[in-house]
Amino acid sequence: MTMETERNNLFPIFLKLDQLETLIVGGGNVGLEKLSGLLKNSPGLRVTVVADRYHPELPQLAKSFSNVRLVERKFRNRDLTGKDLLILATDDKALHERIRILARKRRLIVNVADTPDLCDFYLGSVVTKGNIKIGISTNGKSPTIAKRMREFFEEVLPENTNELLDNMQKIRDRIKGDFRTKVDTLNQITSSWLRR
């Protein structure tokens, strides 16, 4: 008897959030966590946060970013107009289910905090060193494991990782030939790093 192993079939993408309109519904602890994480990774994020009340730290955070708009009231259907990305972060599961149905009709992609079965995407842990960004996903199973892996990569990747990346770009720009030739040459250069 063969045992089928589980695998993560999510497709990782890196979004240019400064070119999209994001809506977060909910301004409590979870809303604050989602907004903080998004702004840490994409300070140019264009986002509206709709909530009938806010965690005290959320308006303080929003003051530092001119591209964060706070709307203090309950969610209205028209809040979805012109939005590309939706994050639901309240403690009202029935509201989340209702908004998700509306969002699906508009073909918005949705993240519902702590409800993987209602999500179109997950917000994973992220490691950033200059222009290098690593996204970590546990397929919604364990944010704690993702956090520990993020901490590991933050520790092992040197602070000068961006310098290495800049040097690789300079080397790539100097290599003559077609795409295949450039890939082969860069593979030869970098493969020696693994043998050290």
146, two tokens: 């993702």
∠ CA 151-157-159, rounded to 5°: 110
CA distance 121 to 115: 11
pLDDT, tens digit, 9 for 90 and up, residues 31-73: 999 999 999 999 999 999 999 999 999 999 999 999 999 999 9
- Closest Cα to residue 108, out of 118, 94, 116? 118
DSSP three-state, residue 31: helix
Q: Give mean pLDDT, residues 182-196.
A: 74
Q: List the beta strands (DSSP E) in 28-178.
A: 46-51, 68-72, 85-88, 109-112, 125-129, 132-136
